[in-house]
Amino acid sequence: MKRVIFIFVSMFFLFSLSSQAAIYKGQKMFVKECVSCHSGGQGFIAKKTIREWKKLMDKKGKPLAELHLENKEAKDSWEYFEGNNYEKKSKHLQQFLVEYAKDSGNVPACN
Ligand code: HEC
């Protein structure tokens, strides 16, 4: 019985570690690719709800990419949104955005 509990606890621990890692990766992406135009960082993220972010990041982030590709003011981001890297890593970005959405209940750490 003890062993079962041990396995269960370790699995839970590993799971939360890996989702922490994905959020961290997403945060790095956000800082690198988004903050130059959307300053305010996590305040910007907290303007949208979990649902709204998920919708924007649907289909590997296509709606978000299109929104920028249609807007001339966002020209400097086109290269990034058209690149393979964006689609490939959009999942991490989504996880990060959802983590700090308005209704996520998470207060961002000041760093
Ligand atoms: C080169 C500048 C630029 C970069 C880089 C950029 N954006 Fe934008 N973004 C814009 C512009 C311009 C708009 C349209 C005007 C607006 O709503 O502010 C916009 C709009 C948005 C919107 C819709 C705003 C709303 O209120 O509905 C979201 C969400 C968004 N961007 C998220 C991101 C994310 C996430 C990234 C990084 C992956 C990113 N942007 C990178 C310029 C940029």
Is the CB of residue 71 below 6 angstroms from any atom belonging to ligand 1?
A: yes
Residue 108 confidence class, pLDDT cut points 50, 70, 90:
low
Q: End-to-end CA distance of the chain, in Å?
A: 42
Is the CB of residue 27 below 6 angstroms from any atom belonging to ligand 1?
A: no
Residue closest by Cα to atom 41 of ligand 1:
34
> What percent of the chain shows pLDDT beyond 90?
71
Q: State the distance from the centre of ligand 1 to the C-alpha of 21, rounded, in angstroms.
A: 24
pLDDT in tens, 53-87: 999 999 999 999 999 999 999 999 999 999 999 99
Flag the least confident range among 14-23, 49-58, 60-69, 97-106: 14-23
User: For residue 92, how many other CB atoms are within 10 A of its CB?
Assistant: 19
Is the CB of residue 54 below 6 angstroms from any atom belonging to ligand 1?
A: no
* Over residues 28-55, mean pLDDT: 93
Q: State the distance from the centre of ligand 1 to the C-alpha of 4, rounded, in angstroms.
A: 47
Q: How far is CA 72 from CA 9, 32, 88, in A?
A: 50, 20, 24
Residue, of 62 and 43, whose pLDDT is higher? 62
pLDDT at site 105: 86
